[in-house]
Amino acid sequence: MVKYFLGISVLKASWDQVFIAFWQRYPNPYSKHVLTEDILFREVTSDNRLVSRRLLTKTSRVPRWAERYLPANVARCAYVIEDSVVDPQSRTLTTFTWNISHARLMTVEERCVYGMNRENGSWTEIKREAWISSNLYGLSRGIQEFGLARFKTSVSKTMKGFEYVLARMQGESPSWTLVETAKEARGKAKETALAAREKAKDLASQAQKKQFV
Amino acid sequence: MNSVGEGCTELKREYDQCFNRWFADKFLKGDRSGDPCTEMFKKYQTCVQKAIKDKDIPIDGVEFMGPNKEK
């Protein structure tokens, strides 16, 4: 037995804005359970689709009633893989996400398809499906119920996070501009310091030469 | 956002910045003039792949879109 979830969410932003936000969604105030984020693979295919794999570390809470059945040393964080395909021709983003640790306890597999909203072309629709399963003998039903409830909470957090990141992007200056400026300034400071050091060396060697003359 | 490899976060930040700009300004607009972030990605990968080995994160042999195939 597997618990199945199907839901549609709409973001009031165009598909390209949402795709850009997708890569910049962590951290946000609703993603405190996401501890690390990495890209492990990325490639543009010959038919111009962007294929990526992202690895996330998330805190994983176990229901209190199940805790006593688990070994005490079960890690309190879980590794999650999120594979994705961005297709700018069809204006779709497809993701498949699942946990690669604690898989015997519970597996949550999620497929999302992001695309243009049919009623309003400047909005984006997310069709989300999930499959929640557990192989833990005798406890699987309870764990799946718990998993589904937690999944629903996490969907609402995901959407709030998206809205937050989209609002930030649509503000006066996108975050990367600010970061870029800071980096440039730092680069310049480094250059100045380097130039000063070279000049000092130059003066020192001149002074030395004078001594020998 | 932090990398799973504590020492890789700075390399990741530089790469992310390059990627986000390329993705918005080139890729989504259909510009196929090549990826300017390749070198940064390589450096970042060297670091993060080592961290994954050190931490025994079980990603080896995990197929792309893995379980999706059965759905």
Q: Say if B30 falls within a structural domain.
A: yes
Determine, yes or no, domain membership for B35: yes
- Beta strands A34-44 and A77-87 are unpaired
The pLDDT value recorded for residue A128 is: 97
Domain that holds residue A44: 2-175
Are A85 and A169 in the same domain?
yes
Does B57 contact A55 at a Cβ distance shorter than 8 Å? yes
The pLDDT profile of chain B, 71 residues, written as one tens digit per residue, is 999 999 999 999 999 999 999 999 999 999 988 889 999 999 999 999 999 999 999 998 899 998 776 66
3 state SS of A122? coil
Statement to judge: residues A207 and A111 lie in one domain: no
A101, A79: one domain: yes
Hey, is A6 helix, strand or coil? strand
Residue of A4, A30, A36, A176 for testing the chain B interface, max B β-carbons within 10 Å = A36
Q: Has residue B61 been placed in a domain?
A: no
In this prediction, residue A1 carries a pLDDT of: 74
In a domain, B32, yes or no: yes
| B65 falls within a domain | no
User: A140 and A193 share a domain?
Assistant: no
B30: domain range? 6-54
DSSP, collapsed to helix, strand or coil, labels residue A193 as helix
- How many domains does chain A divide into? 2
Q: What is the rounded distance in angstroms from the CA atom of residue A83 to the CA atom of residue B5?
A: 20
- Choose, out of B29, B41, B52, B57, the residue to mutate when testing the contact with A (most A CBs < 10 Å): B57
A127-186 residue pLDDT tens: 999 999 998 888 889 889 999 999 999 999 999 999 999 999 988 444 444 444 444 455
Whether residues A35 and B19 touch (CB distance < 8 A) is answered with no
A132 and A199 housed in the same domain: no
Pair (A30, A82) in one structural domain: yes
Q: Note whether residue B21 is domain-resident.
A: yes
Total domain count, chain B: 1
Residues A112 and A123 in one domain: yes
Which CB contacts under 8 angstroms, 24+ apart, belong to A171-179? A175/A24, A176/A24, A176/B17, A176/B20, A176/B21, A179/B13, A179/B17
CATH number at residue A24: 3.30.530.20
Instruction: Evaluate whether residue B63 is within a structural domain.
Output: no
Whether B67 is covered by a domain: the verdict is no
pLDDT band for position A21 (cuts 50, 70, 90): very high
What is the percent of chain A where pLDDT is above 70? Answer: 77
